[in-house]
Chain A
Amino acid sequence: DAKTTQPNSMESNEEEPVHLPCNHSTISGTDYIHWYRQLPSQGPEYVIHGLTSNVNNRMASLAIAEDRKSSTLILHRATLRDAAVYYCILYSGGSNYKLTFGKGTLLTVNP
């Protein structure tokens, strides 16, 4: 599985935008970029995914670099409920449908 690199931790203030970076320089052409988050004492929760183009949904936006070697998860207005560990995962499917988790980024949101 191609690897991702994320900062160990980030801090934000409530109601401000948050940009969570992820580097994946060895990404292959068939790798989707998935983001999940894990709130305290809960299982991971799907946030968003994309292949080449930027993506938006009700939770967040995903900005993918033109060369696809990096991506950024954007939370437009952070709330206290967004405090979680955020995982950036490359996933290609095929005969190997498993998600492999790295250490992720611990996001702290200050009131």
Chain B
Amino acid sequence: SAVISQKPSRDICQRGTSLTIQCQVDSQVTMMFWYRQQPGQSLTLIATANQGSEATYESGFVIDKFPISRPNLTFSTLTVSNMSPEDSSIYLCSVGQGANYGYTFGSGTRLTVV
């Protein structure tokens, strides 16, 4: 299965600033996703990162707030823009190859906005 390197592992940021999270995979993968996990909650899908085209966002998430890039089949970034304390969460990337394969998750980025 794929191995994911996600950076940074944690950060403390000032409100109003932006943070870019990187997700590097050790092999080419078809599908990449970004999730958010708020404190004590389950995972919520933010968007599907599409290679060479705009990401597909889930209801409640918009590109201006969470711009995503995916320049190739092994790398993606998620930016959390104009942060507020409500953005304090764990952000995770995930990759998959299809329904008959297990998905792999990064270890997450723990973001605290002060």
Q: Interface on A for B, CB 8 Å cutoff?
A: 30, 32, 34, 36, 42-49, 51, 85, 87, 91-94, 97-104
B108 touches A34 (CB 8 A): no
Q: Which residues of B contact A34 (CB under 8 A)?
A: 102-103
Contacting residues, chain A, for B48 (C-beta < 8 A): 97-98
Q: Indicate with 1 or 0, residue by residue over B60-95, a CB within 8 angstroms of chain A CB atoms.
A: 000000000000000000000000000000001010
Which of chain A's residues have a CB closer than 8 A to the CB of B33?
98-99
Nearest CB on B from A53, distance (A): 13
26 interchain pairs, CB-CB under 8 A: A32-B99, A32-B100, A34-B103, A42-B108, A43-B106, A43-B108, A44-B43, A44-B94, A46-B1, A46-B104, A48-B102, A49-B102, A85-B42, A92-B99, A93-B98, A93-B99, A94-B99, A97-B31, A97-B96, A97-B98, A99-B33, A99-B45, A99-B94, A100-B45, A101-B43, A101-B44
